[in-house]
Amino acid sequence: MIYSKIAGTGGYTPNNVVTNYDLAKKVETDHDWIVQRTGIHSRCLATAGETTSSMSFEAASKAINAAGIQATDLDLIILATTTPDKILPTASCMLQEKLGVPNIPAFDLGAACAGFIYAISVADQFIRAGNAKNILVVGAEHMSSIVDWSDRTTCVLFGDGAGAVVLQASDSPGILSTHLHADGRHGDKLFVPTGLPNLAIADEPAYVNMRGQEVFKFAVKALGDIVDETLDANNMDKSDIDWLIPHQANLRIITATAKKLDMSMEKVILTVDKHANTSAASIPLALDEGVRDGRIKRGDKLLMEGIGGGFAWGSALVIF
Ligand code: UT7
């Protein structure tokens, strides 16, 4: 049997750290409100010239290096993003060009904050089917480019960055299962109003709009349910999970999921305090941090989960 193993991880966040205090000089907000409601203390924002593909390149290079392979060993690139550099070419093709590996397939995948989970699920199918041996999976976002910096209800929430993994074919178990869901009836709760048909005539700016409380409530319920679904599918108990690596949107949502797992917060990889919500990048960035600081070890069982616009949500249970 062929499995997909995480052979290496990488992450990148811009050097430009913006604190809550910095934002309070621009919009009517304050550090304590942001920390109490979200757990966010600061975020990293792209500087001039930094884009989704350039941040992806930094994260991907580290993941490839950690996997002990060359970029030329890759068979496929999947880049999960909602904020590609351009409409065309895709950010994944721009990344492929930067990595200098022409001819391998590369595509973008859009599932908002669940994008990385969707992307490793797709990559896992390629590997299990014997169609690829080394796949670069990236989650990367330039959220600051679609945030209204005068809207305090959204601008304090987001950050920029990229996280990457190399998934590799292996004889021993890696990804045990992935679980994907979507419900387009909630498209009015978290959205950017402009799109391809009306870009040229847009009278609404392309900024994130969110009905925060409704997203919050749905997220807590959906993520609680998907924890049960994932454990049941693998005949596992809550106590079998070594690390929870959640999407980093709000500390209160993460705490609710940890509670559902009867898990101490010490077993949760948290980056929301310093990264804020980096959408598709948040899970691989957290994974990379846990791996590089030595908390996550080979053989540990990881539960990753995330939800975002769509709504789209998903989970992955992985032996590292
Ligand atoms: O990644 C995709 C998934 N996204 C999420 O999971 C986000 C889910 N939602 C949330 O995390 C929370 O709903 C928010 C953090 C967005 C908001 O927290 P909340 O506890 O739901 O606050 P709220 O929207 O109910 O606002 C409470 C009050 C309001 O004032 P009034 O109407 O009670 O007078 C807001 O105007 O807080 C006010 N407020 C702020 N005050 C200071 C909203 N934003 C701010 C702000 N600073 N930045």
255: domain CATH number is: 3.40.47.10
Residue type, 307: I
What pLDDT is attached to residue 199? Answer: 65
What pLDDT is attached to residue 205? Answer: 77
For residue 282, the ligand 1 atom closest to its alpha carbon is 1
> pTM of this prediction?
0.97
Assess whether 9 and 151 both reside in one domain.
yes
User: What average pLDDT does the segment 111-124 reach?
Assistant: 98
What pLDDT is attached to residue 145? Answer: 94
Distance 34 CA to ligand 1 centre (A): 9
Here the tokens at position 87 are 């409409």
Assess whether 110 and 123 both reside in one domain.
yes
Catalytic residue among 113, 134, 179, 275: 113
DSSP calls for 193-245: S--GGGTTT--S----EE-HHHHHHHHHHHHHHHHHHHHHHTT--GGG--EEE
Instruction: Name the residue range of residue 10's domain.
Output: 3-171
What pLDDT is attached to residue 195? Answer: 72
Assess whether 80 and 211 both reside in one domain.
no
User: What average pLDDT does the segment 90-102 reach?
Assistant: 98
β-strands 134-142, 106-109 pairing: unpaired
Burial class (CB in 10 A: 0-12, 13-18, 19+), 198: exposed
- Judge whether residue 201 has pLDDT over 70: no
CA–CA dist 255, 66 (Å, integer): 30
- Pocket residue to mutate for ligand 1, from 146, 153, 273, 305, most atoms within 8 A of Cβ: 153
What pLDDT is attached to residue 15? Answer: 98
For residue 153, the ligand 1 atom closest to its alpha carbon is 44
Assess whether 97 and 181 both reside in one domain.
no
The tens digit of pLDDT for each residue in 136-151 reads 999 999 999 999 999 9
User: What average pLDDT does the segment 156-160 reach?
Assistant: 98
β-strands 209-210, 106-109 pairing: unpaired
Q: Which strands sit side by side in the sheet containing 3-12, from one edge to the other?
A: 3-12, 160-170, 134-142, 76-80, 106-109
User: What average pLDDT does the segment 278-285 reach?
Assistant: 98
- The pLDDT > 70 percentage for the chain reads 98
List strand residue ranges (DSSP E) for the chain, in order: 3-12, 17-19, 42-44, 76-80, 106-109, 134-142, 160-170, 175-182, 190-191, 209-210, 243-246, 301-308, 312-319
What pLDDT is attached to residue 93? Answer: 98
What pLDDT is attached to residue 212? Answer: 96
What pLDDT is attached to residue 204? Answer: 72
Assess whether 196 and 124 both reside in one domain.
no
User: What average pLDDT does the segment 97-107 reach?
Assistant: 97
- Pocket residue to mutate for ligand 1, from 20, 37, 43, 257, most atoms within 8 A of Cβ: 37
The protein residue with its alpha carbon nearest to ligand 1, atom 43, reads 153
> Is 44 among the catalytic positions?
no
For residue 29, the ligand 1 atom closest to its alpha carbon is 47
Q: Among residues 138, 171, 204, which one ends one of the domains?
A: 171
Q: Which residues have any ligand 1 atom within 6 Å of their CB?
A: 29, 33-34, 37-38, 113, 152-153, 156, 212-213, 215-216, 219, 249-250, 253, 277, 307-308
Distance 222 CA to ligand 1 centre (A): 19
CA–CA dist 4, 173 (Å, integer): 7
What pLDDT is attached to residue 202? Answer: 57
Residue 254, φ and ψ in degrees, nearest 5 = -65, -45
User: What average pLDDT does the segment 204-222 reach?
Assistant: 93
CA–CA dist 98, 56 (Å, integer): 10
Assess whether 144 and 21 both reside in one domain.
yes
What pLDDT is attached to residue 206? Answer: 84
What pLDDT is attached to residue 42? Answer: 98
Assess whether 130 and 248 both reside in one domain.
no
Q: Is 87 helix (H, G, I), strand (E, B) or coil?
A: coil
User: What average pLDDT does the segment 47-56 reach?
Assistant: 97
What pLDDT is attached to residue 194? Answer: 79
What pLDDT is attached to residue 193? Answer: 87
Distance 45 CA to ligand 1 centre (A): 21
- The pLDDT > 90 percentage for the chain reads 94
The tens digit of pLDDT for each residue in 298-320 reads 999 999 999 999 999 999 999 99
Assess whether 75 and 202 both reside in one domain.
no
285: nearest Cα among 61, 8, 59: 59
For the chain, the distance separating the N- and C-terminal CA atoms, rounded to the nearest angstrom, is: 17
Q: Among residues 171, 187, 208, which one ends one of the domains?
A: 171
